[in-house]
């Protein structure tokens, strides 16, 4: 994940648990087998790692955030987790499958990540991932641009995410040598918890890179302005619904 992100694992589990909820559908794409070794890349607090382990597979979770890994270890002490950067991750024993949910868009050097995935997979190994695609949260990002510009800050210079088109990402996989078996790009409007407070939970959870070196009062000002800008478009029937656009891919390592 992006090294500038500051993660609060408790807030993530309490208010952003929809991330792992939606990710359960991705497990259906993977179809894990009890005989396999599987890596959960960008595992967060480990909920989907634990779901994968229910198949009987030997599962390991890695994440860049030490706070996330500590939480995962506390919640699932029977499973192995470690702090790792997917851009440079290496392993002595290759995996039969690599799974990643809602993490790749935090990794801004995708060629390096894909290379790491390639080398960590056994021949004919599967790479199954879901992450933010082109236009993901675009209305929120546009509002952040406007609100931060009022303080003389460029949101684009602090942008922590990589949201490719499906064509861009598939091409990177193929360049590395993967065979892209399935690829899907879809809208997934996502409802936030806690009614009117929902957008602020989202901003607090995911937008710390935009707020670098800002005081708590300045962050409050920006969040309030972003809320005002977005309310006409994203606040519906008393709920905040964020404009998610997702990519799913299923790729196979063709050879060494």
Cα–Cα dist 32/184, whole Å: 20
Cα–Cα dist 130/135, whole Å: 15
**Mean pLDDT confidence for 237-245:** 95
- Between 249 and 21, residue with greater pLDDT: 249
Cα–Cα dist 72/10, whole Å: 11
Cα–Cα dist 11/5, whole Å: 14
165-189 pLDDT, tens digit each: 999 999 999 999 999 999 999 999 9
Name the band, by pLDDT with cuts 50, 70 and 90, for residue 233. Answer: very high
Is 0.75 topped by the overall pTM? Answer: yes
Cα–Cα dist 167/174, whole Å: 10
Name the band, by pLDDT with cuts 50, 70 and 90, for residue 23. Answer: low
Name the band, by pLDDT with cuts 50, 70 and 90, for residue 22. Answer: low
178-225 pLDDT, tens digit each: 999 999 999 999 999 888 999 999 999 899 999 999 999 999 999 999
* Domain chopping of the chain, boundaries: 9-136+161-192+244-253
User: Nearest to residue 47, comparing CAs of 15, 83, 82, 71?
Assistant: 71
Name the band, by pLDDT with cuts 50, 70 and 90, for residue 15. Answer: very low
What is the average pLDDT value for the chain, to the nearest integer?
Answer: 91
Cα–Cα dist 63/46, whole Å: 9
Q: Which of 2.60.34.10, 3.20.20.80, 3.40.50.150, 3.10.20.30 would CATH assign to domain 9-136+161-192+244-253?
A: 3.40.50.150
DSSP notation for 12-79: HHHH-THHHHHHHHHHHHH---TT-EEEEET-TTSHHHHHHHTTT-EEEEEES-HHHHHHHHHH-TTS
**Mean pLDDT confidence for 47-56:** 94
Percentage of the chain modeled with pLDDT above 90: 88
**What tokens does 31 get?**
């179809």
Question: From the centroid of its chain, how far is CA 99?
Answer: 12
């Amino acid at each position: 994940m992006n090294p500038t992100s500051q993660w609060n694992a408790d807030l993530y589990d309490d208010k952003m648990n929809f991330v792992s909820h939606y990710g359960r559908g991705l497990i259906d794409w993977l179809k894990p087998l009890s005989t396999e070794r599987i890596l959960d890349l960008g595992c967060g607090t480990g909920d989907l790692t634990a779901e994968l382990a229910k198949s009987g597979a030997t599962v390991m979770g890695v994440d860049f955030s030490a706070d996330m890994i500590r939480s995962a270890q506390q919640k699932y002490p029977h499973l192995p987790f470690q702090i790792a950067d997917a851009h440079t991750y290496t392993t002595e024993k290759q995996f039969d499958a690599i799974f990643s949910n809602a993490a790749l868009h935090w990794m801004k050097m995708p060629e390096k990540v894909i290379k790491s995935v390639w080398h960590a997979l056994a021949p004919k190994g599967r790479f199954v991932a879901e992450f933010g695609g082109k236009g993901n949260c675009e209305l929120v990002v546009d509002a952040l641009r406007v609100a931060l510009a009022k303080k003389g800050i460029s949101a684009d210079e602090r942008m922590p995410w990589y949201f490719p088109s499906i064509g861009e990402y598939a091409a990177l996989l193929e360049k590395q040598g993967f065979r892209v078996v399935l690829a899907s790009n879809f809208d997934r409007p996502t409802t936030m918890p806690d009614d009117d407070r929902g957008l602020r939970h989202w901003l607090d959870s995911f937008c710390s890179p935009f707020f670098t070196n800002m005081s708590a009062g300045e962050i409050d000002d920006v969040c309030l302005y972003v809320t005002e800008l977005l309310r006409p478009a994203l606040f519906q029937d008393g709920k905040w619904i964020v404009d998610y656009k997702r990519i799913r891919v299923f790729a196979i390592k063709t050879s060494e």
